[in-house]
Structure 1
Amino acid sequence: MKTQLTILFLSGLAGATLAQVPTPDANTLMNLGRFDEAKATLVRNAQQNPSVQTYFDAGYGYLRAGQPDSARIWFFKGIPLDEKRIPLNQTGSAITYLVKNDMTNAGPKLDEVVAKSKGKNAEILFRIGEAYTGYLTPGNGSIKPIYPKVVNAAKAIDYLNRATERDKKNPAVQLALGDAYYLNNDAGTAVTRYESALELGMNASRVYQRIGDIYWQGRNLNLAVENYKKAIEANQNYAPAYNQLAELYFLVNRYKEAANYIDQYVNVSNDKRQETLLRQAQFHFLAKDYQRTVNLIDSNRTALAQNPIVYRIEGWAYSSLKEPQKAIQNITTFLEKAPDKAMPDDYKYLGNAYLGIDNTGSDSLKAINDSLGILNLTKAAPFDTTENLYSDIAKYYYRAKKHPQAVAALDSAAKHGFKADVQDLFRYGMSNYTLGFQRDSAGKLVRDTVRFALADSALALAQKASPEYAPTILYRAKAHYYAYAPEEAVRNGKAKPYFEQFISLVADKPDERTRYKKDLILAFKYLISYNELVTKDASARNEWLQKGLSFFPENKDLAKIAAPETDTVDQ
């Protein structure tokens, strides 16, 4: 379920001018999920400055990246340099077995390093305790362990508390304790430990981001944003907070803000990974900044070219930009490259693109493109729960005078739970009205009373939404009139109120009178006949006759009615 965001947009941050961005350190790179860059930095440092710590850091980088076997190689290199009672790299090596859930090897090896350090070295206790958290890694609105199978909150808390007893001022231990308590479903204590890490000098941005992540998991989005804001205030170049803000705004459908913050994240982090650039383009598409979407893809073509999803996003954007040929080219390429990833929206945008092609001067080409457009919309329509594509299909068929297909499309819309708008109702009514005139095998006109009834029902609903729309009223009158033989239609009087209303709406307007001349004459003839055959009201009959003649003095039918002996009404 989408959660509503009730905080003000961080306008002061969104438009901030960012200082020149320094190269992130390895720890920050790991927090960003950019493990390849972090490993490269740490390995280079180990090669240039071999020591207990640099070898451990290189192994730790691989460990955090989810590559324990590679991590073990670097820990092995550092083991000969370990101090006797501080077996740091030996601890790292033992942890590589732990995270692989290889307890046969992990148990004895961990016991050995604890014994060597006599269970008193804070660093060794800290590293083991942190390992039992599975290395929580925040990102994209989540905070999850890299090694979920090894997570043991109770053991993590035990080791980390023992480390705290021996080093009360280590902020890294407090941060790891916050992670452990979070995993123990104690978010309140987790936040307290994070705050302790801050008091002890931990990087403020990192702590505030961690607190923000905890609040996000608890769906307290106000406090999550507040802490991300604090993270950025502490360091405007702290990229993870921008990324989390982008994802949070995405979660609550505020796509413009999401796009704004992911732009700032990319600017600050210089993160050019394919998945990041793709996410950036997606956010701008959702924000309906289609030109920016296309520009981002074009400017990162080399990095993105191997991912077929790029063609989808660009195709959808071009479809929305009313550049149908480019839309068709990109979406078709996507469907060719990744047919197994096709989804209904691909066919929706492809269908709209075909329907949007300018076919000026070529009726045959228009027919082909329109046919392809409808074919693709038909593929998408049954699966689209938010947009009534059946309405678009019906509009096309209605304009093409393919009334059975128009009616079928609108019937499908109703079956799929879409509520017809006034235009749908009018088209449904008019298509059924047209289909009311059938021919038998001999070519004789046969009135389909069911179709006329369906027409009137739909037009009645349309009239409620637009009470004085003349065509709706006119065709309600004609549906009631043509559903019966002429004299029966007059005698039952069902068309009478609609013909009267139609005359009142258009007869006094010269342009409308010209437009609806034939229909107005039919209306006058009907009302004249009704008062002659049903009410026997000569005065009313004469009044309608004279009014009709005043508007259409040259009409031969009205002139004949005015003669002594006349027919009642013509079909």
Structure 2
Amino acid sequence: MNKFKIFSLALVATTFAKAQDLESAKTAIDAEQFEKAKSILKAAIQAKPTNGKATFFLGNIYLRQNIVDSATIYFNKGLAFSENAKFNNIGLAQIDLDANNSAAAQAKFDLVTKDMRKKDTEEYIYIARAYMNADKPDYKSAIAVLTKAKTANPTDAQVQLALGDAYYGDKNQNESYVAYRNAYQADPTLIRAKMQLGVLLKGAKAYTEAIKAFYEVIEINENYGPVYRELAETYYLWGNNMPSTYNENIQKALGFYEKYLTLTDYSLNSRMRHADFLILAKDYKALELEANAMKELDGVNPRILRYLGYSAYENGNVDTALKALQDFTANTSNKIIPRDYFYLGKTKIKKGTNADGKSIDAAMLTSAVADVKKAVEVEPLFASELNELGKKLYDQKAFAAAAAIFEIAVTVPSSKNYLIDNFYLGTSLYYDNTRKDVVKPDPIALQKADTALGNVITASPTTQDAYLFRARTNNLLEKDELMATYYQQYINIASEKWKKELEKANSAIIGNEFILDLYKGTIKDFNYTLYKAELDKLKPKFIESYNSIASFYANSDKAKAIEFLNKTLALDPANTYALDAIQKLK
């Protein structure tokens, strides 16, 4: 009997110890101290390999770190354990979700829930988190599962916390707020729920209020690492949304991220999270130092190649960047993101650019464009970032390359730069077809230019230069009537703009064509000096328009042609083209 009592006490002590190990691991996971949590769980599994929750938690950490092979090993190992084995099916189901196999995932979820008791909620919580943590999060399915858990136990703090995360992911701010508030009220020790109330404020761009909320969390527990990450991200977003505060706020952001690292761990995975933030902050010199430090820690982790590639490109080391990014994207088992392809494309363009900066090796350009196109196909929102690259090429007068980039950008009409990208596409194609070495303009390219400029005019009818370049483009296409129409529209739009300027100055206006009226002296009380720089640019464009319209009428209406040529001479009495043309028409 005494031996039985001793055995019973030992069993209770062992069970208690295992529970304590799991709670310690959960606390470390919540604090994002993943290496610490892994050590606790591995020790627990080795000491007593019976509780499937330990392998489930460990596998989930590996999933968060994108180490799927290790996660799978632990989930499968846990299925053979005598306690809580079914939880490992949730981890395997998330892997199925990542592989777009929802049927297989649902079958595993069903195995988990079939023997649940009425008041159980834990299984529902982890199933919902599997939906949320999948590569393609399904927040509505998570909400549906958590609604069952809420019905079973309305006051469960973890259920409310998970509901808050699900509603936040589903962009339902109001329900998310209620759930986070309920979670914290149900369990005031659940500090993550209080922190998430600040996250909601950050998402609403209420940066001052968000920072105040995060400091309230720090007052409760100054060693809670995740709150410093949230502070870092808040200052980063604040700096980006208010450029005048950028330098100050980005330094604060970087400082808080360093604090976050000191309270989590300096493992390779933590340093990778730091590297991701350095990319957001555009601190590429620090990123290069971090990438090389990580390489010393682990020379085989493929994600290090991403950081080396990005930083090497930004710091001017093109060859290093090209090799790193090619090696990284060549392995399809790596989790490649749109930015990887974008950087690879930019690197190829820089590598292939000739000394004059105006031309790029054709093969390298083709390959680069394919990479950039892939980035946009994977994530259409990425199109808005192409403007900077295209504009740089445009300014270098590398018009063929610029056109290729802008042609990808305008495939996404929802892009914030859609209008200006169409303008640059149209003018890039026009300039590329007016190079000195062009024997015959490309009609297909010019038709694309005409369409792009037409998109600009449709969206913004007062963009005067869109008419001018559309007229020039149709001139190259030998569509003379359209050419004359667009030149006249350019004159009308440009004149109307300046007439409005004059109306503000209460000036007398005579006639319909501002530049012509100005030089005839029919516009009074106009301060020419104030607008001289703009007007000097406008005058030759009006002359171009008048002469081009005159050339259209030359064979069909000589009087009309002479009328437009005389308008040219009113602006430039010595204009050779107009003088010669009038002599021929008389």
Q: Are 2:466 and 1:471 equivalent residues in the alignment? A: no
What stretches of structure 2 of length at least 5 have no aligned partner? Answer: 1-22, 62-70, 91-107, 168-174, 369-399, 499-533
What is the CA–CA distance in structure 1 between the aligned matches of 2:300 and 2:451, rounded to whole Å? 39
Q: Are 2:294 and 1:300 equivalent residues in the alignment? A: yes
Within 5 Å, give how 1:366-515 maps onto structure 2.
Answer: 374=400, 377=405, 380-384=408-412, 385-387=415-417, 388=421, 390-391=425-426, 393-394=428-429, 397-398=432-433, 400-401=435-436, 402=438, 403-404=441-442, 407-414=446-453, 426-433=468-475, 448-458=480-490, 461=493, 467-469=535-537, 470-485=539-554, 488=558, 492-502=562-572
2:405 maps to amino acid: L
After superposition, the CA RMSD in angstroms is 5.8
What is the CA–CA distance in structure 2 between the aligned matches of 1:229 and 1:134, rounded to whole Å? 30
Contact 1:285 1:293 in 2 (8 A): yes
Cα deviation, residue 494, structure 1:
1.9
Q: Are 2:225 and 1:239 equivalent residues in the alignment? A: yes
CA 1:135–1:393 in structure 2 vs 1: closer, same or farther (change >3 Å)?
A: same
Contact 1:473 1:502 in 2 (8 A): no
Q: Deviations over 1:358-416 (max 9, x none)?
A: 63389997777778774653773453544416257426505625554663342242466
Q: Are 2:571 and 1:520 equivalent residues in the alignment? A: no
* Equivalent of residue 176 in structure 1, options 142, 158, 167: 158
* Equivalent of residue 359 in structure 1, options 351, 354, 365: 354
Structure-2 residue corresponding to 1:122: none
Within 5 Å, give how 1:180-199 maps onto structure 2.
Answer: 188=178, 191-198=181-188
CA 1:471–1:25 in structure 2 vs 1: closer, same or farther (change >3 Å)?
A: farther
Structure-2 residue corresponding to 1:265: 260
Q: Deviations over 1:220-270 (max 9, x none)?
A: 988665433322343444222234455667889948668645555345423
2:111 maps to amino acid: D
What stretches of structure 1 of length at least 5 have no aligned partner? Answer: 1-23, 77-89, 112-124, 162-173, 437-446, 504-518, 530-567
Q: Deviations over 1:404-455 (max 9, x none)?
A: 466334224246668686666554444544665xxxxxxxxxx945445445
What is the CA–CA distance in structure 1 between the aligned matches of 2:475 and 2:280, rounded to whole Å? 41
Q: Are 2:77 and 1:42 equivalent residues in the alignment? A: no
What is the CA–CA distance in structure 2 between the aligned matches of 1:475 and 1:306, rounded to whole Å? 62
> Per residue, is there more helix in 1 or in 2?
2
Contact 2:456 2:466 in 1 (8 A): no
Contact 1:452 1:483 in 2 (8 A): yes
Structure-2 residue corresponding to 1:228: 214
1:300 maps to amino acid: M
What SS does the corresponding residue of 1:300 show, helix, strand or coil?
helix
2:575 maps to amino acid: L
CA 1:153–1:449 in structure 2 vs 1: closer, same or farther (change >3 Å)?
A: closer
TM-score normalised by the chain length of structure 2: 0.52
Contact 2:112 2:123 in 1 (8 A): no
What is the CA–CA distance in structure 1 between the aligned matches of 2:267 and 2:230, rounded to whole Å? 17
What is the CA–CA distance in structure 2 between the aligned matches of 1:189 and 1:416, rounded to whole Å? 46
Contact 2:475 2:483 in 1 (8 A): yes
1:176 maps to amino acid: Q
What SS does the corresponding residue of 1:494 show, helix, strand or coil?
helix
What is the CA–CA distance in structure 1 between the aligned matches of 2:365 and 2:113, rounded to whole Å? 67
What is the CA–CA distance in structure 2 between the aligned matches of 1:271 and 1:297, rounded to whole Å? 13
Contact 1:179 1:190 in 2 (8 A): yes
Deviates more, 1:248-257 or 1:265-274: 248-257
What is the CA–CA distance in structure 1 between the aligned matches of 2:563 and 2:326, rounded to whole Å? 57
What is the CA–CA distance in structure 2 between the aligned matches of 1:144 and 1:364, rounded to whole Å? 46
Contact 1:482 1:489 in 2 (8 A): no
What is the CA–CA distance in structure 2 between the aligned matches of 1:456 and 1:355, rounded to whole Å? 41
What is the CA–CA distance in structure 2 between the aligned matches of 1:103 and 1:312, rounded to whole Å? 38
Contact 2:565 2:578 in 1 (8 A): no
Contact 1:281 1:297 in 2 (8 A): yes
TM-score normalised by the chain length of structure 1: 0.54
Contact 2:52 2:85 in 1 (8 A): no
CA 1:43–1:270 in structure 2 vs 1: closer, same or farther (change >3 Å)?
A: closer
What SS does the corresponding residue of 2:125 show, helix, strand or coil?
coil
CA 1:408–1:356 in structure 2 vs 1: closer, same or farther (change >3 Å)?
A: farther
Cα deviation, residue 475, structure 1:
0.9
What is the CA–CA distance in structure 2 between the aligned matches of 1:404 and 1:459, rounded to whole Å? 27
Contact 1:410 1:424 in 2 (8 A): no
What SS does the corresponding residue of 1:359 show, helix, strand or coil?
coil
What SS does the corresponding residue of 1:360 show, helix, strand or coil?
coil
What is the CA–CA distance in structure 2 between the aligned matches of 1:397 and 1:95, rounded to whole Å? 62
CA 1:228–1:364 in structure 2 vs 1: closer, same or farther (change >3 Å)?
A: closer
Within 5 Å, give how 1:78-93 maps onto structure 2.
Answer: 92=84
* Equivalent of residue 133 in structure 1, options 119, 122, 125: 125
CA 1:290–1:379 in structure 2 vs 1: closer, same or farther (change >3 Å)?
A: farther
Cα deviation, residue 188, structure 1:
3.5
